[in-house]
Amino acid sequence: MVCLDTDFLVAYLRKDPTARSKLEELDLKEEPLHTTTINAFELYKGAHKANDTTNGLAKVDKLLDAFFMLTMDRDSAKLAGVLHNKSNSIGDADLLIASIALSNKQVLITRNKKHFEQVSGLMVERW
């Protein structure tokens, strides 16, 4: 199972051919696609900064409708607490994304592989 990071989702929204190709590849494998509520927050935050907020929000809504949404639960919160002192240089939002992906046994699809590889046990794949 895979969890798509914000950088991937933004690239897809911007019609990046590499992101689109990766999504097609995952679709052919019938891979269930996930993202986290933290990634959703980052997308909505970006949409509110856009010149055309209404259009940006609509695009984010449509995109997120296509994915299973992983949420912060007690297990991932506990894991984030453990990881905080070991991996806090990656920032709180990314630490939460990593802990949610890790606690749900997801491979995180990101271009920020070097950054996320600081989280012990997290499976990371560069797209």
Per-residue model confidence (pLDDT) at position 114: 86
Give dist(CA 19, CA 54) in Å, integer: 24
Give tens-digit pLDDT for 86-114.
756 788 999 999 999 999 999 999 999 98
Evaluated on CA atoms 111, 41, 46, 118, the torsion sign reads: negative
Q: What is the pTM of this model?
A: 0.93
Q: Tell the CATH topology of 2-113.
A: Rossmann fold (3.40.50)
Give dist(CA 125, CA 117) in Å, integer: 10
Read off the amino acid at residue 5.
Answer: D
Give dist(CA 100, CA 111) in Å, integer: 18
Map out the domains of the chain as residue ranges. Answer: 2-113
Per-residue model confidence (pLDDT) at position 115: 87
Q: Is 112 exposed, middle or buried (0-12, 13-18, 19+ CB in 10 A)?
A: middle
Give dist(CA 115, CA 112) in Å, integer: 5
Give dist(CA 112, CA 127) in Å, integer: 9
